[in-house]
């Protein structure tokens, strides 16, 4: 199915936002978007660190047009789901465990209230958390698509282990709530996407709806991410026995491409698509990259996320 162009700066008719309460009472912004016809199944979408739903309207519209019922939410501490710090532009988490608990609770509710088959599409940090959930043996998900999954992180030549050590020291120095760098480097050049128009879309949304905007991560977030990554060793991925499609680029500036390939090799039913280039946000890339990625996802879902 060819992706149809939409206005990426308008929430489509039919998409409805609401409040979903986590077990501890935290308010998360969720959305639901049923298709115009009988759904072929249900798709749960989850973004990455600092994301908000509006960034992905284009991809969501593509799947809605394809007949999927869509649901999702902004992670606590970002998007429309509130903040942990007085400075709302610092993307901070002391631990990713509450996010994992939110995911498990939301998925349980989603599985009870939506038609199957059910698939998850998740990006970066969201993809990492989905893998952690699946590694626990969670049932009810028929397939998962993980784009640029945060199996491990790196910044330039600095690997995740070194970043974790630096973050630990920063925490001991009382800098855990300080931002790692001065500006949101995701807005710079082609670091997240090589498409300047889609990069401008994100900046536009953050300017027009500042309440959903975040910026650089805190040192606490880096430490929390490294701890969460360490809690999911490759041997645990053997337990992920549903079809999984892993997508990434060989020179991703944020996550470790080699770790993605190793994780895919560890799962009995995983497929791997690695692209040339440096883009991290594959669903927001230039069409030369984005459209083949959508085609690969569509093919995977058509073949794998269908019950006999």
Which residue segment(s) compose the domain that 61 sits in?
16-304
**Once rounded to an integer, what is the mean pLDDT over residues 286-293?**
96
What pLDDT score was predicted for residue 308?
A: 34
Its pTM stands at 0.96
Quick check: is 265 in a domain? yes
CATH number at residue 93: 3.40.50.1820
In a domain, 218, yes or no: yes
Q: Is the separation of the CB atoms in 125 and 49 below 8 Å?
A: yes
Tokens of 243: 């079809």
At residue 190 the predicted structure's pLDDT band, cuts being 50, 70 and 90, is confident
Q: Would residue 123 count as lying in a domain?
A: yes
Domain presence at residue 261: yes
Query: Residue 11 to residues 8, 17, 35, 207, 306: CA-CA distances in angstroms?
Result: 8, 10, 15, 16, 29
Q: What is the pLDDT of residue 206?
A: 96
Whether residue 6 lies inside any domain: the answer is: no
Confidence band, pLDDT 50/70/90 cuts, at residue 306: low
pLDDT band at 187 (very low <50, low <70, confident <90, very high): low
For residue 31, being part of any structural domain is answered with: yes
pLDDT above 90 coverage of the chain, percent: 89
Give the per-residue pLDDT at 154: 87
Residue 307 has pLDDT above 70, yes or no: no
| Residue 179 token pair | 């931002």
Whether 184 contacts 216, CB under 8 Å: yes
Residue 143 has pLDDT above 50, yes or no: yes
Q: What domain count does the chain have? A: 1
Q: How confident is the model at residue 297 (pLDDT cuts 50, 70, 90)?
A: very high
- Is residue 274 a part of any domain in this protein? yes
Indicate whether 3 belongs to any domain: no
Quickly list H helices, the chain.
Answer: 57-65, 97-113, 125-135, 160-172, 196-208, 219-230, 257-266, 287-304
- In this predicted structure, the answer to whether residue 152 has a pLDDT above a threshold of 60 is yes
158-159 and 244-249 strand pairing: unpaired
Res. 36: pLDDT tops 90: yes
pLDDT category at 3 given cuts 50, 70, 90 is low
Report pLDDT digits (tens) over 205-232: 999 999 999 999 999 999 999 999 999 9
What pLDDT, on a 0 to 100 scale, did the predictor assign at position 236? 94
* pLDDT for 189 beyond 80: no
pLDDT surpasses 80 at 186:
no
pLDDT, mean over the chain: 94
Q: What is the Cα–Cα distance from 17 to 60, expressed in whole angstroms?
A: 14
Q: Which residues are paired to 16 by β-bridges?
A: 32
The answer, yes or no, to whether residue 128 has pLDDT greater than 50, is: yes
Mean pLDDT score, 30-39:
96
- The pLDDT of 99-108, averaged and rounded, is 98
């Amino acid at each position: 199915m060819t992706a149809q162009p939409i206005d990426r700066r308008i929430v489509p008719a039919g998409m409805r936002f609401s409040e979903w309460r986590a077990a501890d009472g935290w308010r998360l912004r969720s959305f639901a978007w049923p298709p115009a016809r009988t759904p072929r199944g249900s798709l749960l979408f989850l973004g990455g660190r600092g994301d908000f739903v509006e960034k992905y309207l284009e991809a969501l519209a593509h799947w809605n047009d394809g007949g999927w019922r869509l649901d999702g939410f902004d992670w606590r501490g970002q998007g429309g789901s509130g903040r942990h710090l007085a400075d709302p532009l610092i993307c901070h988490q002391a631990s990713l465990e509450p996010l994992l608990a939110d995911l498990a609770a939301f998925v349980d509710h989603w599985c009870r209230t939506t038609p199957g088959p059910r698939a998850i599409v998740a990006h970066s940090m969201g993809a990492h958390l989905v893998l952690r959930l699946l590694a626990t043996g969670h049932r009810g998900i028929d397939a998962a698509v993980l784009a640029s999954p945060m199996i491990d992180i790196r910044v330039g030549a600095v690997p995740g282990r070194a970043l974790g050590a630096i973050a630990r020291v920063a925490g001991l120095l009382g800098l855990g709530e300080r931002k790692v760098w001065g500006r949101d480097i995701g807005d710079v050049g082609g670091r997240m996407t090589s498409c300047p128009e889609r990069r401008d879309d994100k900046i536009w949304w953050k300017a027009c709806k500042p309440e959903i905007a975040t910026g650089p991560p805190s040192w606490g977030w880096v430490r929390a991410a490294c701890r969460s990554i360490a809690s999911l060793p490759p041997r645990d991925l053997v337990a992920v026995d549903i079809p999984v499609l892993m997508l990434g680029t060989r020179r991703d500036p944020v996550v470790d491409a080699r770790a993605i390939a190793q994780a895919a090799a560890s799962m009995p039913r995983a497929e791997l698509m690695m692209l040339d280039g440096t883009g991290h946000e594959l669903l927001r890339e230039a069409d030369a990259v984005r459209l083949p990625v959508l085609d690969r996802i569509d093919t995977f879902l058509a073949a794998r996320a269908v019950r006999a």
